[in-house]
Structure formats: C-alpha cells, structure tokens
Structure 1
Amino acid sequence: MAEFGGFFNSVNGDRKYKSEDFANYFKAFIGNGINPSTDSLRVVKISNTQIKILPGSACINGYLYLNTTELTKVIPSGATKIVRVVLRLDIANRILNVAILEGTDTESPILTRNNSVHELSLAKITIKNDTVIVEDERGQASLCGYMSFIGVNDLQSMWDLFNQQWGLQKEIWQDWFTNMQGQSIRGIYIQSNKPTNHKVGDIWIELL
C-alpha cells in the first residue's frame, strides 16, 4: 500500500483496521523507550531470588506497555550467572511484557531485535552465589533509552546551538555595557549602589 489515511468511521464495514495500523501511527512520532520519569519500570532487588519492577510505561515500535502496580519476578540463584530484565515485544504471539533473559557466567544475554521480537533492557543482574548486583540500564540508549517525540533531537540541537551562540554574544554585550557606563550622552549605570559621578539625566538601573 503506497498511501494510507486514517482513522475513519466505518460505513457498512468499509473501514477495518489492524493493530499494526495503530502501531504505525504511534511510531511515526514516538520513539522506542520507557517513560522518562525517575522510577518508571525501575528494577529493584527484593532478595537473592526475587526482584520487582516498579510501575511505569513504555513504547516499542508503536505498541504501548503499561505497568500499574509493582511486578515481582523470580531470578536464578545459587550459581554464577548474568541475566537481564527485559521488556519484550513479541508481535507473532501478541505479547508485550517483562521477561527474564539468561546469559552465562561471563556473558550478558544478547537482546533480540528483528521484525517480530524487540527487547529493551531494563536492568542487568550479576549473580555470584549469594551476591546479587542490579545495574540499571534504562538510560542507555543502545539497550533501552527513554521514549521521545521523533525529531526532538533536532530541536534540542538547535536549542543547544542558540545557547552557545547567545553565550558568546552575551559576553560581548556585557563588556559593552560595562565600558559604556557613564560614557554616553546620557549615562547608563547598572549596579547595586547609587552612582557617585552621575549627572542630571543619567539612568541608574539598580541591581537587587
């Protein structure tokens, strides 16, 4: 299909939409990742055998994930192993949920990302006998990242450039103001104390 427009009310069944149509709509302007709030889908250790995932939300390829209550998961114990807590979209099986992905004692499990399955890593957990270390991976863009509006990076780049250029101009402006105080036909003073060498008609802007 070269063109698509929607969504419209159906008249006698002439408009029928699939979940893919809605997903394509959302992924046109929302990038993959989790909600950027501080604790959204954060993984927390409960014990050496259990972890919990805090409430939060995410978007993967236009599909929505919501976790409204703390979610508890069992992790391997009693052996040296590296696992990941992932958010997995499985289109073929129509599932989007949190899963435990097991690696080896030395290698982290590799995320699956293809036309059917796409995984985001919420945390990496290193298990060494009775020691369990949880490493938050939500902020790493290559592994998970935060969902954002498509194109926001371009806007941010423009804003950063503006701030950089304004910073340079602001120094020039400030130097000019400093040198011009009391030098023009009508003196301009920008300072906290009252000018001592002022004359009638001068302007004093008091700094508070």
Structure 2
Amino acid sequence: MAFYSGFFNSKGLDRTYTAEDFTSYLSSIICNGILDTYGQNFKLTPANSGLGVVLGTGKAWINGHYFINDSRYVIDLTSYQDESLPRYVGIAIYLDTTESVRSVTLRLFPGTPAENPSLPSIPQDEDHVRLLMYAVRMNPGASRITESDWFDYREDSNVCGYCKCILGKCKVTELMSQMAQLVAEVQENNDTIADLTNKVEQLEADVEDIGDIVSVGQCGENIFYALYSNGKLLLKGTGDMYDYDSPLSPTGNDSPFFNNQDIKRVIVSDGITDIGVYAFRYCDELETASLPGTLTKISDFAFYPHPDDMATPTITHGLTEVTIPSSVTEIGYCAFAYNRLTTLTVPGTVTTIGQRVFAACANLTTVRYEAPVINEFMFVNCNHLENVTLARTVTEIKSHWINYCRSLTEITYEGSLADWAAVTKGSNWDAHEGSISTTNLTRINCLDGYMQYNTETGEWTEVHE
C-alpha cells in the first residue's frame, strides 16, 4: 500500500489503530529529548556516600514514546570500578522497540577500562535509540564521585538534547519566554506610539487653544505653563519641574496647580524630565495626563487628588488614564494613589519606586508590572483589581503589596516555576498572613505550571503541567 490516512472514529471496527500509529504521529511533532518543563530535567548529583549518583526527576520523549522519572533515583556504580584503570559509564534513556522488549528504560553502558578511556559505544538501529545524558568517569581507587567526574550531554542535541517545538527551533520554555518577550516588545511599541500621539496632541493644543488662555506662569527653571479655558494645561520647556511643599507646610510653597478644579487634562511637552513633588495635588477633575518620552521621574504625590473614603466601592477623583513612558526610571511615594485609573502598565525601566504608588485606586482592574521591584503597599485597597500580570523581570515583591485586593484570585507570572521560586518575597507578600486573609489570591500561573495556595495549611505548592 502506498497511501495512509487517519485518525477517524471507528464504526463496527472498520478503523483500527495501534500504539505505533500514535507514536509515529507524536514523533512528527515532538523532537527527541528531555522535556524542560517537567521536574528537575534529570539533574545528576553525587550520592551522600560511596560510588553512587542521584538522578533527579524528569520526562523525555524518544521517537514518540515517553519516559518519566517521578522521584529521585540512586544509581550505584560500584561494580563498574576497575582495580587499576579508569573507564567511563554512560547513563542513557534507551528505547528498544523489538517485539520481545518494547520499552523505554534507564540503561548504563560501561566503556572499556584503559589509560585513556573512550566513551562507551551505545548501539543504535531502527529498533534501538538512545538519549545519552551523562558519561561518568570511574577512577580506580576513588571512594566518591563528584560533579567533576562526569560529562553532561543533556544540552548536546547530537546525543541527547531537549524537546523542541514543532518547528524544531527552541525548547518549550524558551518558546513561551519568547512569546512573553514579543508581548513586551509590542507594549514597548505601543509606548512609542503613545509618545508620538502625545506630540501630536501638543501640536493640537497649540493650534486649537491659542487665544483662549486663562492663566500662564512658571513651574520650573526652564518650564512654563498655559491653562486654557477648556481645561487643558500645557507645560513646555526642558528639565525638571519645581518641587512643592505639602499643603500643610507652614512655608506655603504651594504648586500653582494646587486644588485647581478647572484642570481637566495635562499635556507635558517633550524635553521635560521630572514631574515635581505635589505638582498636581488635589486636582480632582484632572482626567488624563500625556507624558513625554523624555520624562525620567514622577515624584512623590505628583498626581494625588483629595482621597475618597477607602470603604467606597469606586473612586470619584483624579486621573482616569495614564501611560507611563518607558523612559521613566523613578516613581515616588503615593504618586498615583486614590486616582480613577482602570488599567495601567509599569514599565521595566522603573528601577526606583516608592511605597503606595497606586494605593486605593479602587477602580483599577488590570495591571501589567514589568519593573524589578514591587514596593510595600503598592496596590493596597485596590478592591476591584482582578487581572495582574507580572513580567519575568520582576525580581522582588515586598510586604503587603496586595492587602485588601479582595477581587484578586490569581496572578499571571511570565516565567517558570523555578523563576518564581527565585523571586524575593517579603512578609505577607500574598496578604494571607495571620488569621484573616485580606485577599482571595490562591493561584500563581507560570509558564510550566502554577502555584496553588492551601487555605487550610496556609502553604503554597508547586503544580507542574
């Protein structure tokens, strides 16, 4: 027969398939090798004593067949030690499809003892295929085996390698990581578009609002402003804005925009690098702020409106939307707290960030966070927050960052379970500390599985997929 097809439902046993049919199909889409999303990828470590090694958990695919080790396995190599000459012992996953065997097993292949020993020869033909993971050197007279005694071939696609995607170009976790990177690049492009849009808006403001200025002034050494009757506030110039005092300060050094309810929209021109301390304090009717690609710092309380009662279901003052440019490296304490924001992205360029930056933004539902550090009380009392994505670039999560975010049940993390384990976490990072939890977070979704929270034991457990 020259042509084959499948698979179809059987009617009256008119369609039958064997295990070989399925393995043939699987081998066409899954490359031979170790599956890097399962367990410890067969990591080898020395045994506690004697001439032994310990093989970690792992899963491998070989010609459409799978092989799994679900617990640490001790391999005793004592019998392979020669009295006078060294030799290598190969540790391999071995497929034997002959009718009398039909299995995938862990096999040891001893080489010939010699002054300069060679790697063992492992037979391969149409019925026998091997994945050579390690070659362990057995030295005469040795009492222990250390990591320096073996060669690791797991990365070598000529003899072992890792499972690759259907196109055969990358490991599974690398593919997912690249996808996350593409998403980040799209976001960066969106930031560029937002920056260009901001420049267009500045030009529109110049054209549309000339002749309708209600106030002008200076708010930086080289920065001047014009407020138009339609509520647009245009800042032009270069460098940093002035920093201003708290309204409670006896010096009375208030921002010219303090408590101004006529400001509806702020357009900060290209060239300005810093939004000053208390710059737009109590500008309750301010809805949008267009920020330039030259901006590097948003200071303490920069966009802080009159606080609403934390118990209220929604916030009624402050910004409804803002795009933080990827040029920003520092955001200060409470810079956007109590605003009406619904979605936001914190770019990875932000290396310094204060506490409570987005505290009590009760309308906030969706967050993408790329900066390396999430500071304390970052989203405290954001009680409508339900969609949180943390980029793999997040390396530290400090205490109490999601306290009283009761709508939050799960978080998406764009890294592996091992990456998540490496993230530094402060006390009560998950808002479950003590007898009363202040959030409903029970799951952290990772690329190769998820973390599951047990409400009875108060512990997080890895679940591999």
TM-score norm. by structure 1 comes to: 0.73
Cα distance change, pair 195–53 in 1 and its aligned pair in 2 (3 A): farther
* Equivalent residue, structure 1, for 2:81: 77
> Does 1:58 find its partner at 2:89?
no
* Equivalent residue, structure 2, for 1:43: 44
Q: Which 10-residue stretch deviates more, 91-100 or 71-80?
A: 71-80
* Equivalent residue, structure 2, for 1:190: none
* Equivalent residue, structure 2, for 1:98: 106
Q: Which runs of 5+ in 1 are unaligned?
A: 188-192
Q: How big is the shift at 1:22? A: 0.8
3-state SS in 1 of match to 2:23:
helix
Matched residue count:
187
3-state SS in 1 of match to 2:126:
coil
Opposite residue 90 of structure 2, the aligned amino acid is R
Task: Write out per-residue CA displacement over residues 85-128 of structure 1, whole angstroms, 9 at most, x where no aligned residue.
Answer: 00001111202011001123321123433211110111110111
Q: How big is the shift at 1:62? A: 0.6
C-alpha separation between the residues in 2 aligned to 1:109 and 1:18? 34
Opposite residue 153 of structure 2, the aligned amino acid is E
> Does 1:142 find its partner at 2:158?
yes
User: Do the aligned residues in 2 keep the contact of 1:43 with 1:122 (CA within 8 Å)?
Assistant: no
Cα distance change, pair 196–4 in 1 and its aligned pair in 2 (3 A): same
User: Do the aligned residues in 2 keep the contact of 1:41 with 1:56 (CA within 8 Å)?
Assistant: yes
User: Do the aligned residues in 2 keep the contact of 1:56 with 1:68 (CA within 8 Å)?
Assistant: yes
Cα distance change, pair 66–81 in 1 and its aligned pair in 2 (3 A): same
TM-score norm. by structure 2 comes to: 0.35
Mapping 1:1-208, distance limit 5 Å: 1-6=2-7, 8-37=8-37, 39-46=40-47, 47-75=49-77, 76-79=80-83, 80-92=86-98, 93-104=101-112, 105=114, 106-129=117-140, 130=142, 132=145, 133-151=149-167, 153=169, 196-200=222-226, 201-202=234-235, 203-204=267-268, 205=291, 206=298, 207=328, 208=331
Q: How big is the shift at 1:25? A: 1.4
Opposite residue 68 of structure 1, the aligned amino acid is D
The CA RMSD over aligned residues, in Å, is 3.4
Cα distance change, pair 2–199 in 1 and its aligned pair in 2 (3 A): same
Moved over 4 A (4+): 183-187
Cα distance change, pair 28–35 in 1 and its aligned pair in 2 (3 A): same
3-state SS in 1 of match to 2:104:
strand
- Whichever of the two has the greater Rg, that structure is 2
Opposite residue 120 of structure 1, the aligned amino acid is L
Richer in helix (by share):
1
Of the two structures, which has the highest relative contact order with CA contacts closer than 8 Å and spacing of 6 or more? 1
User: Do the aligned residues in 1 keep the contact of 2:31 with 2:168 (CA within 8 Å)?
Assistant: no
